[in-house]
């Protein structure tokens, strides 16, 4: 049987791994964008406008809401019924990377 400390350590490691994977992917995108700007002579303003439009996209927000917010709400509602650490661990395991970042 795992202890609370073991569960917390596993949860922290999964969370850190997920953050590291996301940052790695983000940095790769930043590097490619920078190279494209240089090689194609793209204006920073145009790319900034495109990025801002993508950030404000309803489709992106909807996808993130479905993936994170709805799960988080279900877990928060279940805190009184189930061990919080097990719920967090389950969330991290189910949210984990299933392929390339969208």
Give the pLDDT confidence of 76-102 residue by residue, as tens digits: 777 666 666 777 777 788 776 665 655
pLDDT at 60: 92
Positive or negative CA dihedral for 14, 16, 19, 23?
negative
What pLDDT, in 10s, does the model give residues 42-82? 887 888 888 899 999 999 999 999 988 988 888 777 766 66
- Nearest-5° angle of CA 98, CA 21, CA 69? 65
Which of 91, 87, 77 is CA-nearest to residue 15?
91
Give this prediction's pTM.
Answer: 0.60
What pLDDT, in 10s, does the model give residues 11-45? 899 989 999 999 999 999 999 988 988 898 888 78
Buried b (16+ CB within 10 A) or exposed e, 65-75: eeeeeeeeeee
């Amino acid at each position: 049987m795992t202890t609370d400390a073991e569960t917390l350590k596993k949860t922290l490691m999964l969370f850190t791994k997920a953050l590291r994977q996301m940052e790695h992917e983000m940095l790769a995108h930043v590097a490619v964008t920078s190279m494209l700007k240089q090689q194609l002579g793209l204006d920073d303003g145009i790319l900034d406008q495109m990025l801002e439009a993508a950030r404000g996209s309803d489709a992106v927000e909807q996808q993130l809401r479905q993936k994170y917010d709805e799960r988080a709400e279900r877990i928060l509602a279940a805190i009184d019924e189930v061990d919080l650490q097990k719920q967090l661990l389950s969330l991290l395991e189910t949210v984990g990377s299933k392929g390339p970042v969208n």
